[in-house]
Amino acid sequence: MSLTHRILLIATALTILVAPAANAQVGKGVADLNSMPEPELVALPGMTPAVATAFIAKRPFASITEANAFLLGQKLTQDQLNTLYTKAFVHVNLNTGTRDEILLIPGAGTRMAHEFDEYRPWRNWAHFDKEIGKYVPQTEVDRLKQYVFIPINLNTATDDLFLTIPGVGARMVREFKEYRPWTSQAQFQKEIGKYVDQKEVARFWRYVVIQ
């Protein structure tokens, strides 16, 4: 095997190892404010132990706008929160997220709020890459992915897709699949509520859809 061929093989292998999963439905990069441990929450810019304790007591937040309003009420400034959101966030549902939610994504702005809405319904990251890539470089497309998710179909999703949900492990993947076919939110609350409390059920529910 030639040296050039070996280099190409090594480069390809490294790309596979470091590249994000092409079929991931929940963006990776920034932490999830609804599930991160208290010590990590306290370490965020502008956060204090008292605010972190109050924040955890109110979790999960149904949207980043709710979390933002709560933190403003705890006397953090919007500038402080904008810095905090470079580290942690409440992911925005690409198919239902409001303009106000999208505008809280660092650097998104009104243009991306319009484009995110224009191409709904979003199906997968390849769709997102294609459409948003018309307006910004791929590096920016990948940065924006960290803040959003495409709802995961409870009745057809693979293990890999479920594992992109923050805090979901092998056990919960097994339960998500065991009760198929899913028919309603009430069924989800009942069955998954056997394993986690209703706050955690509500947090999981944000990321899924029944189709």
pTM: 0.86
**174 and 90 inside one domain:** no
| Pairwise CA distance, residues 32 & 52, whole Å | 14
Strands 208-209 and 152-153, by their bridges, are parallel
Q: Which two tokens stand for residue 92?
A: 């925005």
Q: Which residues pair with 32 in a beta bridge?
A: 89
Contact residues for 210 (Cβ-Cβ < 8 A; gap 6+)? 153, 154, 155, 182, 183, 184, 185, 188
119-138 per-residue burial string, b: 16 or more CB within 10 A, e: under 16: beebeebeebeeebeeebee
Using one digit for the tens of pLDDT, what is the confidence trace for 49-100? 999 999 999 999 999 999 999 999 999 999 999 999 999 999 999 999 999 9
**39 and 96 inside one domain:** yes
Written as one letter, the residue type at 156 is T
Q: Give the pLDDT band of residue 8 (cuts 50, 70, 90).
A: very low
**137 and 156 inside one domain:** no
Burial degree of 149 (CB within 10 A; 0-12, 13-18, 19+): buried
The single-letter DSSP state of residue 210 is: -
**96 and 181 inside one domain:** no
CATH number for the domain harbouring residue 163: 1.10.150
Using one digit for the tens of pLDDT, what is the confidence trace for 129-188? 999 999 999 999 999 999 999 999 999 999 999 999 999 999 999 999 999 999 999 999
**66 and 88 inside one domain:** yes
Domain hosting 177: range is 152-209
**44 and 143 inside one domain:** yes
**185 and 104 inside one domain:** no
91 with 26: CB under 8 angstroms? yes
Using one digit for the tens of pLDDT, what is the confidence trace for 34-47? 999 999 999 999 99
